[in-house]
């Protein structure tokens, strides 16, 4: 932990991210959401996309900061625009539920599809669920095939990590 701290103090974004994750999860350090947010923010401000997503999760859940859905969406969008799968899925969930942004199924489908195109199983499930809510307008055949593969119908997709949805699993 000492080396993470030294590297983080010297401005190394990856070390700042890992130190934030250790504080968030209480691994090697006492759990401290305020410290986690501080280190996630330092890494996020340097463009670390997973730290940006995790900072969004902190704002969404009110851990270490006041709950602020608009701020959560801003951080999810920064990471999602750079291709971060979990952030794309989280942003899709916000559009789907109308949390921090106006309710918009089309935008939700777009973000879920971007994550699904990278093989994210959670996004595939969300896209499939959204398909039912939209009367099948949002899901093309390729997306449905990928969904079927993800749940074991047809060829298997390569394993992917679970997404950290708002209100779901903890940050990466």
DSSP 133-151: HTTTSS--HHHHHHHHHHT
Closest listed residue to residue 87, CA positions, set 61, 117, 112: 112
pLDDT higher at 131 or 40:
40
Question: 10 Å Cβ neighbour count for 153?
Answer: 11
Please return the burial class of 168, using the count of CB atoms within 10 Å of its CB with bins 0-12, 13-18 and 19+. Answer: middle
> CATH fold of 1-82, please?
1.25.40
pLDDT tens for each residue of 83-140: 999 999 999 999 999 999 999 988 998 998 899 888 888 888 888 777 665 555 555 5
pLDDT higher at 170 or 20:
20
pLDDT at 148: 59
Please return the burial class of 129, using the count of CB atoms within 10 Å of its CB with bins 0-12, 13-18 and 19+. Answer: middle
Among 59-63, 76-80, 111-115, 161-165, the range scoring the smallest mean pLDDT is: 161-165
Q: Could you state, in order of their start, the residue ranges of all structural domains in the chain?
A: 1-82
Residue 128 sits at φ, ψ, to 5 deg, of -65, -45
């Amino acid at each position: 932990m000492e080396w993470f701290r030294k590297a983080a103090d010297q401005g190394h974004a990856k070390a700042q991210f890992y130190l934030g994750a250790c504080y968030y999860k209480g691994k090697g350090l006492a759990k401290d959401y305020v410290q986690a947010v501080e280190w996630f923010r330092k890494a996020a401000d340097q463009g670390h996309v997973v730290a940006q997503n995790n900072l969004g999760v902190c704002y969404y859940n009110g851990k270490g900061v006041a709950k602020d859905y608009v701020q959560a969406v801003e951080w999810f969008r920064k990471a999602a625009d750079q291709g971060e799968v979990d952030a794309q899925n989280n942003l899709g969930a916000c559009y789907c539920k109308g949390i921090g942004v106006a309710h918009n199924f089309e935008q939700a489908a777009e973000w879920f599809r971007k994550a699904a195109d990278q093989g994210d199983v959670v996004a595939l499930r969300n896209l499939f669920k959204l398909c039912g809510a939209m009367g099948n307008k949002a899901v093309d055949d390729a997306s449905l095939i990928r969904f079927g593969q993800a749940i074991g119908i047809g060829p298997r997709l390569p394993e992917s990590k679970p997404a950290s949805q708002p209100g779901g699993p903890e940050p990466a």
